[in-house]
Amino acid sequence: MIKRRAFLKATALTGAGVALTGCSHEKNPLQNININKNKKIKIRLATSWPANFPIMGTGIERFAKRLEIISQHSLRVKVYPKNVLVPALGVFDAASAGAIDAYHSASYFYKGKNEAFNLFTGFPFGMTATEMNAWIDYGGGMQLWRELYAKYNLVPFKGGNTDVQMGGWFKKEINTLADLKGLKMRIPGLGGEVFAKLGVKPTLLPAGEIYVALERNVLDATEWLGPSLDTIMGFQKVAKYYYTGWHEPGSMLSLVFNQKKYHSLSDEHKMMIEMASNELNATMNSEFQAENTKALKAVEEAGAVIKTFPKEILMEAKKSMLEVVAEKSAKSADFKKVWTSAYTFLEENKKWTDIGIKAYLNSRD
């Protein structure tokens, strides 16, 4: 009886071992199943950036490759730089009409469609990249974004974050509010509207024209992004003073799909797009941090002077921002709704940001 029990026990253990071994080494009929394997879906994605544009352009190219790999080549994204299929800022209308399947750009470029679109990129004295991500993912930001974009037959995703941007290159030092009066500056979005209230004359120019405009004194100042891309543009050669920023503290880019195209995809493909967009958003932020750090050397070698705007200007800019918000809220119910959500989230998060990262950075310094 004892021998029989021992035999049964040994047999059971051996069987379990064989089963486990079989799972590891024998071909599993459920392994590598891809329900989309017979699908070859092409996605035409246009961008607002030139071909091979560092970080933002190369980031969306990397997104396209990653999406193709994780879908086992059932999703194939063809990326078209600006002006190949449509003009740089024509991507919104093209995707809305279904002329292209998707695009990569920034929401505040399309504030003419709806003033609320400004806020899905960010706003002066607003959220850091981390806070912006938190609002979009957990504070209701994405629901609002998709609600408003649905009116244009579009589905948005996080498309990367520039992190904090610099305040701009100036040909003369800014010491008082009077120094801003009449200054001709290239600056978009809500930041441009705030600067306008401070006496600046904001203007928009295509990227290829900014350097020459500065060199020939058509512009007195320009903001662009941060050291990584600013030094590639060569601004350090024609403007001496480089100011720290407040107008775009954590600007989010947008990856947007035509609604009909997106809803024609399987749930698995939709999940893959979301996963790849989240990776794009995270890696772009990391790349900006790394490349801005490297590019500071070029700023220093050019003899540029890094400065912070005087307190008088910062205080006046904050007041002006509230005026801009009040004006836009009075004209646009959508702006007011999104602003209320974003600002409420920011105010609730400030305490933890101050106790957490701000206190740490003060301690580190």
Confidence of residue 205 (pLDDT cuts 50, 70, 90): confident
CATH number at 239 reads 3.40.190.10
Question: Which residues have C-beta within 8 Å of that of residue 245, sequence separation ≥ 6?
Answer: 164, 165, 166, 167, 168, 223
- The answer as to whether 346 is a domain residue is no
Question: Which residues have C-beta within 8 Å of that of residue 96, sequence separation ≥ 6?
Answer: 152, 153, 154, 258
- The answer as to whether 342 is a domain residue is no
- The answer as to whether 61 is a domain residue is yes
- 209 and 326 together in one domain: yes
- 140 and 63 together in one domain: yes
- How many CA atoms are closer than 13 Å to the CA of 332, on its beta-carbon side? 21
- The answer as to whether 351 is a domain residue is no
Confidence of residue 23 (pLDDT cuts 50, 70, 90): very low
Taking residues 223-237, report their average pLDDT.
96
- 172 and 195 together in one domain: yes
- 143 and 187 together in one domain: no
- 236 and 149 together in one domain: no
Task: Provide the pLDDT for residue 1.
Answer: 47
Percentage of the residues of the chain whose pLDDT score is greater than 90: 87
- 78 and 117 together in one domain: yes
261-316 tens-digit pLDDT: 999 999 999 999 999 999 999 999 999 999 999 999 999 999 999 999 999 999 99
- 187 and 61 together in one domain: no
Tokens of 270: 């939709």
- 216 and 266 together in one domain: no
Confidence of residue 35 (pLDDT cuts 50, 70, 90): low
- The answer as to whether 11 is a domain residue is no
CATH number at 263 reads 3.40.190.170
pTM of the model: 0.88
- 155 and 119 together in one domain: yes
Secondary structure E strands in the chain: 41-47, 75-80, 102-105, 154-161, 168-170, 184-186, 201-203, 221-222, 241-243, 252-258, 305-307
> Of 41, 60, 90, whose CA–CA distance to 266 is shortest?
41
Q: Report the range of poorest mean pLDDT among 104-108, 203-207, 228-232, 298-302.
A: 203-207
- The answer as to whether 152 is a domain residue is yes
- The answer as to whether 117 is a domain residue is yes
> Of 153, 134, 141, whose CA–CA distance to 116 is shortest?
141
- The answer as to whether 326 is a domain residue is yes
- 285 and 314 together in one domain: no
Task: Provide the pLDDT for residue 206.
Answer: 75
Task: Provide the pLDDT for residue 174.
Answer: 98
Distance CA 248, CA 188 (A): 10
258-267 tens-digit pLDDT: 999 999 999 9
Distance CA 167, CA 204 (A): 16
Distance CA 226, CA 242 (A): 10
Task: Provide the pLDDT for residue 288.
Answer: 98
Domain boundary among 290, 319, 343: 290
Q: Tokens 């998709």 belong to which residue?
A: 146
12 burial type by CB count under 10 A (0-12 exposed, 13-18 middle, 19+ buried): exposed
- 242 and 326 together in one domain: yes
Domain range for 100? 41-162+250-290
Domain count for the chain? 2
48-88 tens-digit pLDDT: 999 999 999 999 999 999 999 999 999 999 999 999 999 99
215 burial type by CB count under 10 A (0-12 exposed, 13-18 middle, 19+ buried): middle
- 63 and 133 together in one domain: yes
